[in-house]
Chain A
Amino acid sequence: MKAKFTQILKQRYYLLFFFSLLLQQTYAQQQITVKGRVSSTTGEAIPFANVGIKNTSNGAVTDFDGSYSIPAKPTDILVFSSQGYKSTEVSVNNQTSVNVSLTPDALSLNEVVVVGYGSQNKKDLTGAISVVKASEIQKRQITTVADGLQGLVTGVKVRGGGRPGQEANIEIRGLKNLQNTNPLYVIDGLITSANRDFNPNDIETIQVLKDASAAAIYGSRAANGVIIITTKKGKKGPLVVEVSAKSSFTSMPRYSLMGTDEFAKLNNQAYDNAGIPRQNLNMAVNTDWQDEVFENGMIQDYNVSVAGGGENSSFFMSGNYFGNDGTVVGTDFDRISFRVNSSGSKGIFSIGENLAISNSKTDEMSGNPIIDVYRLTPTIPVYDASNPGGYGYGKQGVADTFGTNPLALADFSNATNENFRIRGNVWTELKFTPWLKYRFNLGYETSFDSYNFMRKLGNWTLNQPAEQSFINQNKARSETLLYENTLTFKKAFGKHDLTVLVGQTFQKDSYNQIYGTKRNLIINPSTGQYFDVLDLGDLPEVGGFKNEAALTSYLGRLEYNYDNRYLFNAVIRRDGSSKFSDENKWGNFPSVSAGWRLSNEPFFKVDAIKDLKFRASYGELGSGNIDPYQYQGFVNKNGAIVLGNDQVLYPSGTQVRLANSQLRWEKLKQTNLGIDLGLLNNDLRFTGDYFIARTEDVLFGFPILNTTGNDGGNPISNAATVENKGFELELAYSKKINSFSFNASVNFTKLNNKLVSLGNGQNESIQGNTITRAGNAVGMWYVLQTDGLFQSTAEVQNYKNADGKVIMPNAQPGDIRFKDVNGDGEITNEDKDIVGSPWPEFEMGLNAGAEYKGFDFSMNWIASHGATVYDGFRSVVDRFDDNSNYRTGIHPWTPENPNTDFPRIVKGTTLNSRGDSDRFLENGDFIRLKYIGFGYNIPQSVLAKSGITRARLTLSAQNVITISKYKGLDPEFSNSNIFERGVDNGAFPNLQTYSFGVEFSF
């Protein structure tokens, strides 16, 4: 290896020498020698960059430090180029020193893309794969990788939230099953999840495999798409130390809620309208619950890395602290993580490892303060000594509400989660010949989880039953063991390029937990705190369980490339899973894809088009993404009964949850058609994809008939067929003009989801206000329709069906008129109808950036259009039948104020407050400035003496501009219930975040 390397160097210097001679001979008297340094925008030296003189064949190559020296005429134009960077031209203009920084070419055709058990040149891809620059993710203040992908990749929908430690939901190309939309994460070859334990600063590259052919090599787990993350590696050269620190201030969006005076007026009106005595409101109190519960949060993110390498080995080490002090009382997230990546080689043998250790601790939110702040009325004091525990809450006749006091909950009901995780892999490679490589990869991940819940004595809501203090703890350990053997054959025969991969993998996952509870805890007299270990207390309970799953696979891939024009790719994977019964354990999942690079055809002569490629693929993926042991019925022995004159316990045992014994693989069949186009010297690039993804035998536990007596979770069955069709477009432009460069890209995703059939003998599945019915998208809004307000008794009496029956005889002026859809003269459940979709018609991202000298600027916008969402906030504060605080500025119907769409407010009757009507559906469109940031690289001249090679300051903000008509807190919310994805039921909002960061390296 070493010999070869020096050989290359020698050859280059020889050439240089040769050219120099040539030049000296011809132009000796006009020559000057230009010297300088070629670096990347971040200041790193670029070795082996080519330095040429335009319109000549003269050139030089930079050395390890990026330095070069080239003879040139004073009027020459120097052309700097290096693989992975955009070429840059600089006029000599009599200068003898020209320093150049090259901008990375994200769209470079020679870019290498990791595709699973191997890599391909981006230009040779035949599947739908998106590459995301790690820096785009790292510039944001994020907890998980998923947060960082938002708006950057077509076909990838992300919905996050600002709760400390909250993990964003991510969905690639729509809802393809009904269990879990999270994609498969592959970090350095380890199949895992990039959860909040993972430090996004360690990412070197990230790619998103979207279609079946790309993801097929991962087979049964890839149906939701695959996100491949490669972490940073050391590079040859002297030690590079990088330090970064980022501090962010976060703030909650706020509801506009009433104070006591305004509240009392409307509360009294609601009681008056109902003809019941008013509450004896405590007018002396005026609590702003948002002030009490919300606070400004603070995120700190410190990262140090050391990287280096020699001829045959390299290493990378990093340490990170991430602390998020939440915006809601009693919430907090802390993560400490370390990573060591290293590799080395000797002859045909090479070995490497990636190891990450992290510990994260979350002080979880108790109850839902996002809802409580509006369920509690301003007339309730924060503290009330007459209540057990001393906190204020509802009081019958005074402040009639079951809203819970979030401060009391945070105090008396406190949960923390701690995870210690080790994640890593060791690989060895044997390169028998240049074209045959064997690789063994051993991955291991383990997590030690610790959960601690304490219930202290004290109440948080009206009429709360007495409850003993107790502590509940659990300790769990999860383990994943993965081993993979792959053999890769790669050889070119003339114009034929052939790569064949065969392999075998085995993965075993296990999780076991023990838990315990003790009640009636003792208070330590010297601290005044409860003893919080499972020692003191009584009524002990213990338990535990263990889950195991195993997956064996055989895989093969053929890549064929003829003359860079015709590309072909085929994958077959055979998977066996322990989650299915013997006869259904194994599944075969093939895929094929092909590409045609038209621009490389001899007959293609369009100068403006530098690159044009058509792609097509079809593939089948299996998914077995269910809990283990689902195909078997089990006996629940938890119960007990009381019998006998002494009233003692006797054991019980019975089947509680039903099971389907015939579970089989869920199958995703996906077709993808794509085009890649590069114009204007590839400055302008367009990528378009159309896809049809049809999932059959979707594994899901739809509710079954209650007459089965099933409980403890719906039995999983191969229930439904789901189809997602859509297209994704991305247009990107980048240009460098002298020292000014800029880039902009727009991405657009349109998706149609359809439930083809529900299976399981079911016609439809209704959950809350949504219906999932064959032929429609999953979770359509299924509610009563309002039709304005009755203005007079005459209007009520005249509101009749075809038979002349008065439809709402009990209504009064000011009440809502509901549509009698089935015309039976009554408003019943039968009048519900599909009125809208929670699915956006399209989503967009706009990303732009610019650089000038040391300054840079970038921003990401995201937009969503066409979704109808359910405003859970308004469904509570606008109802008035049950007490809550109200929105400021509302003017309900009164005889004096008839020109309003806000109905008469009445305490205690659901007539106007029905949650199952379209009254609370809203337009969920929004446009949001997800990120805006400025950076400044301190010039080398300033740093020169300090020993610091690079220093950078950043200032950024997230979620600062949102354009939306939505009346709830945040239109960009997430609901983990797939069928109620459009219901904003106190979802934790995204936070406005202002960050300041410093990075330097030496």
Chain B
Amino acid sequence: MKKIILITVVFVSLMFTASCDDQLELSNPNALTTDQYWKTESDAQAGVNSIYAMFYKDGLWARWIYFRLDLTSDEGFSNSPWTELADWTRFNYINYNFWEGNVVTWRDTYKAIFRCNQVLANVPNISFQNEENKKQILAQAKFLRALHYYYAAVLWENIPVVLTPSLPNDLPEQKNVTEVWAQIEKDLNEAYADLPSTWASDQTGRPDKGAAKAFLAKVYMQQHKWADAKTALEYLISGPGAKYSLVSNYKDNFTDVNENNSESVFEIQFGDQRKGGTDESQSAAVSSNRAQFFAPRSIGWSDGQARFWLVNAFKQEKDKNNGIDIRLKHTLFYPGLLADFGDKVYGKDWQWGADEAWFRKGARDYYRSNEDYYNQVNYRLIRYADILLRYAEVLNETGNTAGAYQYVDQVRARVNMNTLAAAHPEIGNDHDKFLERLKTERVLELAGESVRWEDLKRWGDLDSQSSVDKISLRDPDFKNFKVGKNQRLPIPQVEVANNPNLKQHPEY
């Protein structure tokens, strides 16, 4: 008996002892390693798709970037009880590490760029059946990298330029904004070469040649490279890419009813299929939160609202039928909305201040009484009306003011406004007057579409105290604006502290 037990015990324990070392080789049963990935065409496809997924992150086009582009500009402001959040829309930058105001947008920008760089580094090694598909994937990655650098350059100006997949210890070097623009131009030009002029209907939402040219125009215009911008824009207006037209119903630019229409040049595709957050978890959302954050009190978070001067701006000029500019109806919720156009606010009577207004573009009041985090309305980042007005601006800047009229008129005609010459005969061919009027035209057409901040910068309106003083009459937040400082955001302090190759802007 004793012997049997003895033998059994020894035998059993020896069995356990054997081959333990092999057990240390455990591979992750949950995910592909980066080494296993980037082997097939579908890896490449999913890889480039992941860059588009960055539009759905809260630092970017799901949420907070609107606070930087729309609310910081004189079109909007924040009256949020979350004081720090509001402070970051009125140039009270105290804590440069404020996540929602600064760091998250910075981080998500580079997160997107990391994805672009992964595609650009890995996809060339994948063999494709059709080499054209590979080129298009790389071109998309370049386009999107340029897009993200573009907005980063608008916001922070001198930033590190990262062009290869990141490693944990990277300390990328800061570049002057001119170098950043140059990199963006390079990417866009290369993207233009390989992007198709149009996508199959099941791929709508990817950039085509027109989108690349449109972004090129934006980059050139910010640098006042008017001639280059003109060439780029002509591709869309009169060149081989002239496939665009204004939709007859202005409202169709802001609902989910007629998305990716003839006016759309580049459109961020939002959906409501997934109900997760803006993170990387399984059900990560594909939606916009903007309307939830901008909807009026008691309907949404009401963290951002429109300046009331916009209401008055629309009412300066009547349309051909002596009616109110229809664009007011679709741009803002304001006290007179019911009286002027018969619309309520998400089905509610006006219950907000008599001098308050809220952004309406992208709101879903046309079919529901509230908002949530899952707004599916696509965001028209560049639409043809913007292109036309830009072309008018470029023509004006290149001495062809007379030639610019017709493009403004196209935009005005769609909403039944008189021609510019008829409505404002005092302008004539005066460059400055025309530009001044164009600024208003852009507001009336594009208010709340995230172009105002770059417009103000391009026009130099943030460069002198006198013009800032003028803006502060419309938007008292600009009383806090320090010329030479607040035209760009402070770089997140945590980045400066830990990267010897990155300096804070001296004025901060």
Q: Which residues of A contact B (CB under 8 A)?
A: 346-349, 396, 400-402, 428, 430, 440, 442, 463, 465-468, 470, 483, 485, 504, 506, 508, 517, 519, 539, 541, 543, 545-552, 576-578, 585, 628-629, 632-656, 658-660, 703-712, 715, 717, 760-764, 766, 828-829, 881-883, 908-910, 913-914, 916
Contacts and interface: CB of A to CB of B under 8 A. Distances in A.
B498 to A, nearest CB: 5
Interface in B271-296: 271, 273-275, 279-284, 286, 292
Interface stretch (B164-172, B316-324, B406-414, B456-464): B164-172
A348 B2 contact: yes
A648 B49 CA distance: 13
B338 interface: no
Contacts of A760: 168-169
B28 A632 contact: yes
A465 B95 contact: no
B298 A635 contact: no
A867 B94 CA distance: 28
A640 B286 contact: yes
Contact of A648 (B16, B202, B270, B283): B202
B300 to A, nearest CB: 6
Nearest to B30: A545
Contact of B53 (A639, A704, A710, A881): A639
Contacts of A628: 26, 28
Given A706-B106, A709-B112, A635 B49 contact: no
B32 interface: yes
24 contacts: A401-B81, A430-B9, A485-B13, A485-B16, A504-B17, A550-B26, A552-B23, A578-B26, A628-B28, A632-B35, A634-B31, A636-B50, A639-B49, A640-B53, A644-B203, A644-B205, A645-B204, A647-B271, A654-B118, A704-B169, A705-B171, A705-B499, A707-B502, A710-B111
The prevalent SS among residues of B at the interface is loop
Given A638-B284, A708-B114, A711-B280, A643 B203 contact: yes
Interface in B14-34: 16-17, 20-21, 23-34
B121 to A, nearest CB: 11
B6 interface: yes
Contacts of A440: 9, 12-13, 16
Interface string B28-47: 11111111110000010111
A504 to B, nearest CB: 6
A908 B35 CA distance: 52
B283 A396 contact: no
A552 B30 contact: no
Interface string B79-119: 00111100100001011110000010011001111110010
Contact of A649 (B160, B286, B502): B286
B376 interface: yes
Contact of B29 (A546, A639, A829): A546
A634 B298 CA distance: 42
A576 B36 CA distance: 25
A645 B259 CA distance: 8
B495 interface: yes
A654 B117 CA distance: 11
Interface in B151-166: 160, 162, 165-166
A707 B110 contact: yes
Contacts of B113: 709
Contact of A658 (B167, B297, B372, B498): B167
Interface residues of B, number: 107
B494 interface: yes
Contacts of B36: 635
Contact of A706 (B107, B205, B275): B107
A785 B493 CA distance: 19
In this complex, the member of B9, B43, B370 whose beta carbon has the largest number of chain A beta carbons within 10 angstroms is B9
Given A430-B9, A585-B24, 10 more contacts: A463-B300, A547-B30, A552-B21, A639-B50, A642-B273, A643-B202, A648-B202, A653-B37, A655-B118, A882-B82
Contacts of A637: 31-32, 46
Contacts of A634: 28, 30-34
Contacts of B43: 653
A474 B36 CA distance: 29
In this complex, the member of B24, B49, B275 whose beta carbon has the largest number of chain A beta carbons within 10 angstroms is B24
B335 interface: no
B50 A396 contact: no
B372 A465 contact: yes
A428 B174 CA distance: 66
Contact of A653 (B47, B84, B274, B372): B47
B468 to A, nearest CB: 18
Contacts of A465: 292, 300-301, 370-373
A141 B107 CA distance: 47
A766 B205 contact: no
A882 B279 CA distance: 28
A684 B198 CA distance: 91
Nearest to A827: B94
A632 B498 contact: no
B168 A704 contact: yes
B215 interface: no
Contacts of A705: 170-172, 495, 498-499
Nearest to A515: B282
Nearest to B274: A640
Contacts of B84: 910
A760 B168 CA distance: 8
Contact of A485 (B17, B82, B171): B17
B167 A708 contact: yes
Contacts of A428: 9
B498 A763 contact: yes
Nearest to A547: B30
A636 B499 contact: no
A99 to B, nearest CB: 45
